[in-house]
A and B are shown apart, each in its own frame.
Chain A
């Protein structure tokens, strides 16, 4: 159990080590609010899809396994999409496009095929949760860095997610445009990967 958690959060982190799911990672990490929204959605979908795929792992053979896995992931993504529109309509207006793209997030099919289709239910669910958490925390850090440097704010629009009053912190009047644009996402991710390697090196 411990090694599953360590794998998902650090040693085999989907965003920093496996470099999976880059499309949503780079596209929505503009602000903390959008990062948190998409990160939590991905976490839930990944946990549930791992659970169900592990549950039915005995039923499927080689030829049909992958399409069925994708179908299950797509089902959960669509469910999440409907629920977002149901409960967080304004947030959905901002990240809606990328919610559908969770289906193509390779982390999901990757975990389904590499872990859930060959491990018991409890371990698979836990693996999905930890991988999702690893993805979520990298996404939120990127969102925070890019929002502070790019816009000079932190937690803007977070009230769309929490329903609480606006808690935007204004750090500066303006920011570096580059950090809001796609190159800023690549730069931030590169720095985070480098940081992880430095920490790993120091520990070793």
Chain B
């Protein structure tokens, strides 16, 4: 019977957490969708102001007036400096890049994290590129690498170009 009191305490903790989970779950899910949608809308904001965004298997379809105007694809590369880099790539139906965003990465703070739009505008240079662009780092190609983070810049560049050709 020694365990009766701890067990009762554990039960009350569990009930408390279950109750709180029920209370907050709805809003938390809404928050998640809201911030996802906000990012996606931002990505195609130059194309349309009132996009309707529909989930697809590999990303999202952007509809404007019932018509598909752009696609947003998820991409991931393991060729970064430290683990996977997760990307979202938005492009028009003519396969021209609208915007690219990094959603998750563990690149070196202060060097490789320039791929994050909140830190540096580096990633906006992909805008307007197509499958015919020179997808390698300058001076050979059209993409300016990040100083000190060649591996990171190359990984992102290749991952973005592969989205257009897949």
Contact = CB atoms under 8 A, between A and B. Distances in A.
| Chain A at the B interface: SS class | helix
Contacts of B9: 56, 59, 68, 71-72
B42 interface: no
Interface string B49-78: 000000000000000000000000000000
Contacts of A165: none
A180 B111 CA distance: 11
A30 B21 CA distance: 30
Contact of B32 (A61, A89, A150): A89
Contacts of A59: 5, 9
Given A150-B110, A177-B111, A181-B110, A90 B17 contact: no
Contacts of B35: 89-90, 93
B140 interface: no
B3 A64 contact: yes
A201 interface: no
Contacts of B13: 71-72, 75
A72 B108 CA distance: 37
A90 B31 CA distance: 9
B154 to A, nearest CB: 21
Given A82-B24, A85-B31, A89-B31, A63 B10 contact: no
B2 to A, nearest CB: 7
A194 interface: no
B27 A86 contact: yes
Contact of A181 (B2, B34, B109): B109
A99 to B, nearest CB: 14
B28 A89 contact: yes
B2 A85 contact: no
B64 to A, nearest CB: 27
Interface of A: 30, 56, 59-61, 63-64, 67-68, 71-72, 75, 78-79, 82-83, 85-86, 89-90, 93, 150, 175, 177, 180-181
